[in-house]
Amino acid sequence: MDSSSEIPMVAVPAGRVTLSDRRTQASWEVELSPYRLAAHPVTQDLYAKVTGERPSSARGGRLPVEGVSWLDAVRFCNALSRQEGLAPAYRIGAAAQDTGWDGSADGYRLPSEAEWEYACRAGTATARYGELDEIAWHRGNSGERPHEVGEREPNAWGLYDTLGNVWEWCWDVYDAEVYGGYRVLRGGGWFDERWSCRASVRRRSHPTFRIDDTGFRLARSAAC
C-alpha cells in the first residue's frame, strides 16, 4: 500500500474479471491492467478539504461523503488532481455525456466497474469476500446510518467498505440503449438488505442524482 494526499492507495495487480447483469442475463469478460484503488471511500473531511463543501446528511469527518452525484465525483477527482499537480483525468462538459476520460492522465479518477468488482473480489469467486456482518455495514447491523470508513474487516488486498456503508459511483454507463446516460453504482449501502451487498450487484442512477447512501472511491492508473 502507498499513500498520497492522506489517501491510502492499494496496488491492484493485472487480471481478468467476468461481469454479469441479472436483468439481461448477460455476462462479459474484461481484461485489466494494473491500477491503484483507494483503500476506502472518500471521507467527508477530504471532500471538504478539496471542495470546501460538506454535502452529507450525516456529519462526521471520517464518515464517507454521501449526497454527491456522479458529476460531483468526477469534478472532485479533477480538483484533487490539480491540487497535487497531476493531470486531470476528465474533460468535463456541460452534461455528463460530454465528459471524457483521458486514459493517459496521471490524476485521480473513478474506477471502471470492472476495476471495482475485480478489486472487491480480491481473488475470490463467491458473492462476498467474507462473512457479511464482519465486512460490511448493511440494514441488519448499521442502525440505519453510515459509519466511519475502515471499521469493518478488509478484503485480502486491504480494501475496506467495498460492500456496504455507501454505494460507490463507477465511471461506466449502465445500459445506454435502455437507460441513456445513467451511470453504474456498486457495493450496496447502509440501508440495503443483505442481498444487495454482493460483489456482482449492479445499480444505476442519473449522473446528477444525489442521495444519502451514495459516495465514491478514488482510482489511479498504475503507471502514475
How far apart CA 32 and CA 107 sit, in angstroms, is: 18
How far apart CA 113 and CA 147 sit, in angstroms, is: 23
Closest CA to 72 of 59, 90, 45: 90
How far apart CA 213 and CA 65 sit, in angstroms, is: 9
Supply the angle between the helices 44-51 and 70-83 in degrees, to the nearest 10: 70
Provide the pLDDT for residue 223.
Answer: 60
At 74-109, the pLDDT tens digits run 999 999 999 999 999 999 987 788 899 999 999 999
Q: What cell was used for 74?
A: 468526477
Which H or E run contains 72? helix 70-83
Closest CA to 103 of 114, 90, 113, 115: 90
Q: Which residues of the chain have pLDDT under 70?
A: 1-5, 223-224
pTM (global) more than 0.85: yes
Closest CA to 17 of 200, 210, 220: 200
**CA end-to-end span of the chain:** 14
